[in-house]
Amino acid sequence: MIPFLTEEYGNPASTTHEMGRRAKEAVELARQRIASLINATPEEIVFTSGATESNNLAIRGACTHRSAKTKRIVTSQLEHRAVLDPVRRLEKESFEVSRLEVFDRTGVLSSEELSVALAPPCDVFSLMLANNEIGTVCDFNLIAELKSRSRSVFHCDAAQALGKIAIDVQKLPVDLMSFSGHKMHAPKGIGALYVRRGTRLKPIVDGGGHEGGKRSGTLNVAGIVGFGVAAEIVKAERSGIRTHLRRLTTECWKNLTTEIDDVCLNGPPIDERLPGNLNITIHGIDAETLTLKIPRLCISTGSACTSADPEPSHVLQAIGLNEMDARASIRIGLSRFTTDEEIDVAVKSIADAVAELRQLNREL
């Protein structure tokens, strides 16, 4: 990335000169690398500022284009705010919205409810590939079966899954899929939207017709280059990354249950959830107070994007937790760079802080 931050200032949209052509070549190489990671064609990759923008472009762009049809959207209660908020905006613009409920505490959607919701025509249905808070992974076999009966556009927020779950868009029933570079250690502020060939999408940002007319604006060349390199690394090492994350997740959960009493797992069982994701309820403590006691640990009480929101997690409430339990829950994310030693330090730090808080509660 460094040359494109310090020396190569060319605009990839300005190819009448050498510097612009070098920038364009760097962008197109990154586009190829990202497309290769998900088995897409480079022309199907649209660069954005991140998954939030990609989600907005997918949902609002598809609904704006198709709004004369059904004016109906299907999604779930477990989606990220980057999906729920644009859907809520469209709802205020007279779209009908069906929000699917979950089957149980694992966060799995009811197949019967999903079948009923998708029976009437809809413009878009949007479900995330892997939940950012509780690690539930979407059942694509069911989605493929349902989509075969419908002409709806299927959008999938795959921000959390990229680099942790193998994604092959030729085998998945997706028309639009959103990504964030920083979820697989590319820079923050860069993302992409996969747009299956033939999927019609109206831009939500006008002003120059960049990215095939789907997203105007001068491209973040350095960020795109970093995203492309990260994609290349993940493609070469993804099997080892998944194995490492699965082992660490299992070890972390085992150690937490050994060191802390009255703790339970939110979301699917360890061997069925997104690798690297843990969400736990520690009864008898306030999670926000816990995180303040151990600031050196990067843990949160919900989505990292809404951790400043004082309300309890909407995802945890949707899977059946009451407000007290939701406020006693923390989310722990593990990465490919996390070590066994860091797991040991984290578990001990959490356990010590929990013991101290519970003792204070008993004394009050």
Alpha helices in the chain (DSSP H): 2-6, 18-38, 51-66, 81-92, 111-118, 140-147, 210-213, 221-259, 287-293, 314-318, 323-326, 340-363
Q: Are 287 and 329 in contact (CB under 8 A)?
A: yes
Tell me the C-alpha distance between 103 and 107, whole Å: 7
63, 252, 264, 305: the catalytic one is: 305
| DSSP helix, strand, coil percent of the chain (3-state; round to 5) | 45, 15, 40
Secondary structure (DSSP) of 280-296: EEETTS-HHHHHHH-TT
User: CA 135, CA 309: separation in Å to the nearest integer?
Assistant: 21
Residue with tokens 């939207």: 193
How would DSSP label each residue in 21-64? Answer: HHHHHHHHHHHHHHHHHHT--GGGEEEESSHHHHHHHHHHHHHH
Residue 93: both structure tokens together: 């613009």
Residue 305 annotated among the catalytic residues of the structure:
yes
**Residues identified as active-site:** 305
